[in-house]
């Protein structure tokens, strides 16, 4: 077994362990992290000319976005859930465009949008210290 195969196996085991031990809030955070990793990988693959791996990374990204959209509680989430659903739909369209046109700017845009959502999600983590406006950042 090659060193890359061992590293991959270790990474998969670490991710699986994190998922098994995670609470629902942490699971969503892991999805954001995985999504951003795949978006960045897809852009790197375009730059490197690895079109097959780019397609796989974008497909995985799309699957995660679909899972995020599917996890929204539309009844309890109200306007926020509606806005997130619309944003996830927009990201799905941009992923399709990025895949067809090998467009790294679309992937970077999606990564930025997800980074914003990820940041807000982290701020509402159970047990997170409340942030006071104007307090040091």
The answer on pLDDT for 4 being more than 80 is: no
The answer on pLDDT for 121 being more than 70 is: yes
- Tell me how far apart the alpha carbons of residues 110 and 39 are, in angstroms, rounded to a whole number: 8
What is the per-residue pLDDT across 57-115, written as a single tens digit (0 to 9) for each?
A: 999 999 999 999 999 999 999 999 999 999 999 999 999 999 999 999 999 999 999 99
* Residues 6+ away with beta carbon under 8 Å from 75: none
The answer on pLDDT for 32 being more than 90 is: yes
Residue-level pLDDT at 137: 42
Tell me the pLDDT of the chain averaged across its residues: 86
Q: What's the whole-model pTM score?
A: 0.79
Class of domain 24-121: mainly alpha
- What percent of the chain is predicted at pLDDT more than 70? 77
* Residues 6+ away with beta carbon under 8 Å from 125: 25, 29
The answer on pLDDT for 128 being more than 90 is: no
Domain positions in the chain: 24-121
Indicate the SS3 state at residue 86: helix
């Amino acid at each position: 077994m090659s060193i890359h195969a061992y590293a991959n196996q270790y990474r998969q085991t670490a991710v699986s362990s994190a998922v098994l031990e995670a609470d629902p809030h942490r699971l969503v955070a892991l999805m954001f992290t995985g999504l951003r990793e795949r978006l960045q990988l897809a852009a790197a693959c375009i730059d490197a000319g690895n079109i097959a791996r780019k397609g796989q990374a974008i497909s995985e990204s799309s699957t995660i976005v679909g899972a995020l959209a599917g996890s929204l509680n539309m009844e309890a989430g109200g306007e926020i859930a509606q806005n997130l659903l619309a944003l996830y739909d927009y990201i799905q369209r941009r992923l399709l465009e990025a895949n067809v046109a090998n467009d790294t700017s679309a992937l970077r845009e999606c990564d930025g949008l997800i980074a914003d959502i990820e940041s807000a999600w982290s701020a509402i983590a159970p047990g997170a210290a409340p942030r006071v406006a104007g307090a040091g950042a």
